[in-house]
Each structure stands twice: as structure tokens, then as C-alpha cells.
């Protein structure tokens, strides 16, 4: 089930309009082509790509890990699981609206706590990017950068996030109702079965949210000259 949830999260990221797959990788390809013509080496171009990714991941994780970094950001706020909408409705009808709201906030607090762990994982993956990896990303398909980061960091992010999220969720009384309600619901004939593992759900949503944030930062660097705050970024991505 964990693999299914993870696959779904990855698929979701790859089709998002704000994901790396949709932030116009052709721009960087064209930039690479143009700058190479101006005498920049492949090594310098890849260094520029690394710097862009490093800046984007650092800023994204810093913003996500702040109080309300997830909870008050509509782009990445973790909602009550969609597949459990009927369960949420039932709980509220039983006078548990406050507990549901607390549960939602706690899921997001758990993600904020976990996001602190992300920066060194991203930086390690980016630092270890070889020239060959960078050139493949620059010359690869539209989702080459997304796939590189997912393949390089997802295992590490999951490993670091999950214990923090588990600890946070254990503090919420409503989690005591979660598994029994899901199990009872899954016994109803003809209903779509649900994953009762909240740890997996919150972990995957937290990671998914980070990639959305990183995609936004990457998009700024590619499209907004004001976001190119170093000489290297200006050389590789241009000043206009």
C-alpha cells in the first residue's frame, strides 16, 4: 500500500501545472544552448543548475518549516484525506468538528516539523549531481529535473519525515478513532477501500508539498531576472 501511495504522490507531482515538468524546461535548454555559444562550459552551466536548485530547495524548506508554513499556505495545506470525506462528515455530525479541525492542524504541524529535515537531503543530492547528471537534466525530457530530485531524495525524505510525523500524530486524540472507523468503513460492500495509515498519508503529502514549493522557486529563477541573485545564475540564465 505504501508503494501505491508513493506512486500516486509522484504521479500527482509530475502532472501539476507548477511542477518542474511544467515550468518550461525548454527555457533552460535554450539558455544552455545560448550560453554555451557565448563560451560557457558545460561544467559552469551545470554549476548554475545546481545553484538554482540549491537556492530553490533551501528557500522552500525554510518557508515550509515555519509555523503555519503548511497550514496557512493553500498550495500545500494538508487536508483531511479526500477518500475519507464521508468519515469527516460523520465525525462532524457527531459533534467532533473541533477535533477534526485540531486533527487537520496537527497533520500540518507534523509536516512543518518534518520539513526541517529536508534541506540537507536536497543539498546532498544536488551537491552529488555529476556533470553527466546535469547534462542529462538539461537535455532530457520535460520532467527530467523532477525525476532526478524524486529519485535522489524521496527515500531519504521519507526516512527522515516519518518518525517526526508519527510522533506528532500520536498527540492527537482523534487518531484513536481513525483506524477503527476506516476498518469499519472498508467492511461495507462495494466501497472503495481506504488506506488506514495516516503516517504514510501525511508523509507523502508533506513531501508532495515541498516539491510544489521548489517548483515555484525554480520557476522564479527561470522567468524572473530579479530572482537570479548571484553572478553565476545571471551568467547561466541570463540577465533579462
What is the enclosing helix (H) or strand (E) of 209? helix 198-223
Torsion (CA) 225, 228, 232, 234 in degrees, nearest 10: 10
pLDDT tens, N- to C-terminus, the chain (240 residues): 444 444 444 443 433 434 433 333 344 444 544 443 345 567 777 777 777 778 778 888 999 999 999 999 999 999 998 878 887 888 888 888 888 888 899 999 999 999 989 989 988 988 888 888 877 776 665 556 767 887 899 899 999 999 999 988 888 777 777 777 778 778 888 777 776 688 899 999 999 999 888 877 766 656 655 545 455 555 555 555
The CB density around residue 66, as the number of other CB atoms within 10 Å, is: 15
Question: How far is residue 44's CA from residue 131's CA, in Å, rounded to a whole number?
Answer: 9
pLDDT, residue 232, reads 55
Amino acid at each position: 500500500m505504501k508503494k501505491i501511495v508513493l506512486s500516486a504522490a509522484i504521479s500527482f507531482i509530475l502532472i501539476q501545472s507548477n511542477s518542474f515538468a511544467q515550468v518550461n524546461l525548454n527555457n533552460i535548454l535554450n539558455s544552455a544552448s545560448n550560453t554555451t555559444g557565448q563560451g560557457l562550459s558545460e561544467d559552469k552551466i551545470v554549476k548554475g543548475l545546481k545553484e538554482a536548485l540549491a537556492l530553490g530547495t533551501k528557500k522552500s524548506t525554510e518557508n515550509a518549516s515555519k509555523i503555519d508554513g503548511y497550514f496557512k499556505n493553500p498550495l500545500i495545506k494538508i487536508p483531511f484525506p479526500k477518500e475519507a470525506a464521508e468519515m469527516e462528515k460523520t465525525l462532524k455530525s457527531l459533534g467532533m468538528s473541533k477535533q477534526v479541525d485540531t486533527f487537520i492542524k496537527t497533520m500540518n504541524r507534523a509536516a512543518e516539523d518534518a520539513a526541517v529535515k529536508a534541506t540537507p537531503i536536497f543539498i546532498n543530492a544536488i551537491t552529488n549531481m555529476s556533470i553527466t547528471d546535469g547534462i542529462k537534466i538539461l537535455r532530457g525530457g520535460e520532467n527530467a529535473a523532477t525525476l532526478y530530485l524524486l529519485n535522489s531524495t524521496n527515500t531519504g525524505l521519507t526516512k527522515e519525515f516519518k518518525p517526526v510525523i508519527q510522533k506528532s500524530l500520536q498527540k492527537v486524540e482523534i487518531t484513536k478513532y481513525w483506524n477503527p472507523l476506516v476498518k469499519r468503513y472498508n467492511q461495507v460492500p462495494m466501497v472503495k477501500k481506504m488506506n488506514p495509515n495516516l503516517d504514510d498519508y501525511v508523509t507523502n503529502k508533506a513531501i508532495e508539498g515541498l516539491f510544489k514549493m521548489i517548483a515555484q522557486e525554480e520557476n522564479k529563477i527561470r522567468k524572473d531576472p530579479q530572482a537570479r541573485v548571484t553572478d553565476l545564475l545571471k551568467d547561466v540564465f541570463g540577465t533579462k
